[in-house]
Structure 1
Amino acid sequence: MSFLVTAKQLYEAPLPASPDGRLSYSSVLLSRLGPNRPDFEARLGRALAAAERRLQACSRDASDPRAAELTGHLTATGGKRLRTLLALLAAEFGDPSREGVVQAAVVAELVHVASLYHDDVVDRAATRHGASTANVLWGNRMAVLGGDWLLARAARLAADLVPGAFSLNADTANRLIAGQLRELAGPAPGEDPVEHYLQVTAGKTAALLAMALGVGALQAGAPEAVADILIEYGEQLGIAFQIADDLLDLSSPDAFTGKERGQDLLAGVPSLPVLLAREDTDPRDAELRELIEAGSAAGADWHLRVLELFPSSRATARAEAIMHQRLARAKGALESLPPLPARRTLDALCDFVAFRTG
C-alpha cells in the first residue's frame, strides 16, 4: 500500500482500535510509516501500550476523585500520543529496554497534555479530540489548575530520569512558559510578527517534540551527540507541524482534525497563514486581507468567507513553502544517524506531515 493512501486513511477512515481502545492513532501511524519490520513494530507497540497504561494511571493518583476526573479528562478522550511515540523512537538509538525509557515517554506526553489545558483556556476553545474542553466543563480556573497538576506530576516522574533527561525536561518547561507569555504579550514594537510567531512556536510546539526525542534518547543511553541531532530534528519538525496545524485549521472539515474549523481564526490566534495574508500586498488577495483586518466588524459570517478564500491565496502557498523548508531541515538532521528502522520512521514522519496539508 502506498504512503499517500495510508496517510489519507489515517485521517479519513475509521482506525482499528487497539485492545484498550486508546492506541489506534499512534499504533497505526507506526505501522504505516515504519520500515515493515515486525520485530521493531512489536517492540514499539509493547512500549506504547505500557506508556499508555502509565499515562492513564497518573490522573488516578490524585487523592480527590474530582481532581482525578479533571486531570484525566484529556488523556481519557484520546490524542495522537505523538510525543510518546517520538520518545520511544529516539530510544532506539540507545538501549530501548533500559529502565526508565517508558517513564521518559510518559513525562513527554504529560507536559504536552498539561500545555493543552492551558492553551484551551487562553484560546477559549470549546472542543478538543471531539469532546468538550476542561475549561467548558469545569471553568477556566479549574482547567488551569488541572494543567498545573499535570506539570507537577511530570516533574516528579522526571526526577527519576538520568540527569540529562531531567535537565531537558526542566528547560523545556521554562521554554513552554516563555513561549506562552510571548504569545500573550504579542510582538514587541517594531518586531516582525512572523519572526515573533516562529519564536512562539519554537517555545510552545517545537520544544515539546524536541524534548520528547531528547529524553527518550538520553534515558536509553544514546550518545549525547545523537541526542543533539534528534533534538534538532524535533525543533524543525515541531515548527513544520504547527504550520501544518495552522493550515488545517483553515482548510479541513471538523471530522478531519477533531477541532472546529476556523477555531483559531475566530479566537484571533495569529497563525502563520493569517500573518502572511496581513502583510501580502497582492491585489488578488485584497478581499482576504480586508476581511482579516475587519474581523467581526465585517459581518457575522465574515470568517466563512475567509475560509473560502484562504486555500487559493498566496499566504497559504507561502506558509506551505516555509513548512516544507523546515521539513527539509528535519530530514537533513537525520542524515548522520545510523540507518536504523527508527530513523526511517522519523524520515517518513516528515513526509506524512507534508501530506496532511496536501
Structure 2
Amino acid sequence: MNARGDSQTLQKPPDRPDTETLGRFLSVEPALKTSLDARLAQTEMRLRDCVRTAPAPRITALTSHLAVTGGKRLRPLMVLLSSEFGEPGREGITRAAVVAELVHLASLYHDDVLDHATTRHGVPSANALWGEKTAVRGGNWLLARSVRLSADLGEQAVGCALRATSRLVDGQLRELLGPSPGEDPVDHYFKVAEGKTGALISMSVAIGALQAAAPQPYVEALRAYGEQLGLAFQISDDILDLTVPGDTTGKQQGKDLLGAVDSLPVLLARADTSADGAELRTLLSSGPFTGPAAHLRALELFQDSPALEQAASYMQGRLTAAKKALTCLPSLPARRILYALCDYIACRNF
C-alpha cells in the first residue's frame, strides 16, 4: 500500500473475532461460551458495517483499517458478559458492544501516533500508511461515530461513554506531557493507565450492565472490577512487550523501548539502584535506542532484572482487587468467566 492508503492489500481479515484466544477463559462455561460466540459474531458484523460508513472509499480504508485486521475484542466481550447480570436479551446491547470497541479502536490510532508505532495487529499501523495527521483524524472519526451510536442507548449509557472518552483523552495527554515536576513516575504511570486502559474496560462492563437494566449495585461492582482489570491488563502488556517475540504478539518485541515509552518495568528498572541493575539503568537513561545492539542488550538484561517480577506483583495486586469487586454479584456463569479472565491475564503469553 502506498503512503496515502489507496489500496487495501494487507492481509486477509479474519471472518470472526479471535475466539481461540478468548476461549482460554470462556471454556470454563461451555454453554455460555457458545452463546457469547454467536453474539460476538453479530457484534463483529455490526462493527465492520459501522467503520465502513465513511463518505468516501479512501476514508473508509482508513477508518476500517484496524477493525478488519481482527483482535481479541475484549471490550465487546466485557459488554456482553456484564449484560448477563441483567436482561441479556434487551435491545441495544450489541450496539453498546460496538460503541465500546469503537472507542478502543480510536485509542489505538492515537496511541500508535504517540508511540510512532509502525505495526499493529501484525500489519502496518495507520500512521505508517497514511501519516500521523491523517491517522489522528481517523481516530477522531471513530470517536465521533461511537458518540453517534451511543445516543440511542439512553442517558446513563451516553454519560458512561462520554466519561470514558474524556478520561481516555486525559490519559493520553498525561502520557504526552509526562510527569509534573516532583511527581512520582510510577504514580504518573498509573494515572495514565487509568485513563487509557482502566476507563475503557470499566466503561465496557458498566455500559453492558446498564443496557441490560442490571441493579445499580451490580453496575458499580462491575465498574470497579473493570478499573482494576484494565490496569492489570496494561501491566501485562508492558511485561509481554519485553518478554514475548514479535511474531507472537504482532508487535515488535521491545517496541516500548524503541519508542522510549515509560512502561512500568522500565520505570522500576530505572529505580533499581543495585550494582546488578547499573548497566540496564544506564541504557534506559540514555533515551531512545538508536541501534539494534543496545536494544537487544536491554532486552537481554530485562530477563534477569527484578523489574519484571516487581511489575508482575503490581499486576497481581490489581487482579486480586478485581476479583474482590465481584463478590457481591450472583454466582452466575458470567461471574465465573470474569474470575477466569483474571487468571488468564495473570499467565497470558500473547
TM-score, normalised with respect to structure 2: 0.93
1:87 Cα deviation (Å)?
Answer: 0.6
- Residue 22 (str. 1) matches residue 34 (str. 2): no
Aligned equivalent of 1:6: none
- Residue 62 (str. 1) matches residue 45 (str. 2): no
**Distance (Å, rounded) in 1 between the aligned partners of 2:262 and 2:287:** 13
Q: How many correspondences in the alignment? A: 338
1:21 Cα deviation (Å)?
Answer: 3.2
What's the secondary structure of 1:348's corresponding residue? helix
Contact 2:28 2:336 in 1 (8 A): no
Alignment of 1:171-190 (within 5 A): 171-190=163-182
Aligned equivalent of 1:203: 195
Aligned equivalent of 2:31: 39
Aligned equivalent of 2:96: 104
**Distance (Å, rounded) in 2 between the aligned partners of 1:172 and 1:323:** 22
Aligned equivalent of 1:5: none
**Distance (Å, rounded) in 2 between the aligned partners of 1:297 and 1:100:** 47
Deviation string 1:176-207 (CA, Å, 9 cap, x unpaired) is 00111111110000000000000000000110
> Pick from 207, 230, 249: which aligns with 1:257?
249
User: Amino acid of the residue matched to residue 243 of structure 1?
Assistant: I
Aligned equivalent of 2:240: 248
What's the secondary structure of 1:301's corresponding residue? helix
**Distance (Å, rounded) in 2 between the aligned partners of 1:169 and 1:345:** 24
1:35 Cα deviation (Å)?
Answer: 5.6
User: Amino acid of the residue matched to residue 103 of structure 1?
Assistant: R
Alignment of 1:267-278 (within 5 A): 267-278=259-270
Query: Aligned in 2, Cα 1:36/1:248: closer, same or farther, shift over 3 Å?
Result: closer
Contact 1:111 1:154 in 2 (8 A): yes
Aligned equivalent of 1:72: 64
1:298 Cα deviation (Å)?
Answer: 8.4
- Residue 131 (str. 1) matches residue 123 (str. 2): yes
1:357 Cα deviation (Å)?
Answer: 5.2
Alignment of 1:314-333 (within 5 A): 314-333=306-325
**Distance (Å, rounded) in 2 between the aligned partners of 1:22 and 1:230:** 30
Contact 2:78 2:205 in 1 (8 A): yes
User: Amino acid of the residue matched to residue 151 of structure 1?
Assistant: L
Contact 2:260 2:288 in 1 (8 A): no
Contact 1:35 1:341 in 2 (8 A): no
The answer for unaligned runs of 5 or more in structure 2 is 1-12
Contact 2:160 2:203 in 1 (8 A): yes
**Distance (Å, rounded) in 2 between the aligned partners of 1:256 and 1:266:** 18
Higher relative helix content: 1
The answer for unaligned runs of 5 or more in structure 1 is 1-19
Deviation string 1:289-315 (CA, Å, 9 cap, x unpaired) is 111112457865211101001122111
**Distance (Å, rounded) in 2 between the aligned partners of 1:124 and 1:23:** 29
1:22 Cα deviation (Å)?
Answer: 3.5
TM-score, normalised with respect to structure 1: 0.91
Aligned equivalent of 1:335: 327
- Residue 231 (str. 1) matches residue 223 (str. 2): yes
Aligned equivalent of 2:10: none
**Displacement over 3 Å in runs of 4+:** 29-32, 35-39, 295-300
Alignment of 1:281-296 (within 5 A): 281-295=273-287
Contact 1:59 1:69 in 2 (8 A): no
Contact 1:247 1:357 in 2 (8 A): no
- Residue 144 (str. 1) matches residue 131 (str. 2): no
Deviation string 1:111-131 (CA, Å, 9 cap, x unpaired) is 000110011111100000000
What CA RMSD, in Å, does the superposition of the two structures yield over aligned residues?
1.6
Aligned equivalent of 1:49: 41
**Distance (Å, rounded) in 2 between the aligned partners of 1:298 and 1:136:** 19
What's the secondary structure of 2:251's corresponding residue? coil
Identity rate of aligned residues, in percent? 54
User: Amino acid of the residue matched to residue 160 of structure 1?
Assistant: D
1:140 Cα deviation (Å)?
Answer: 0.9
> Pick from 84, 101, 112: which aligns with 1:120?
112
User: Amino acid of the residue matched to residue 347 of structure 1?
Assistant: Y
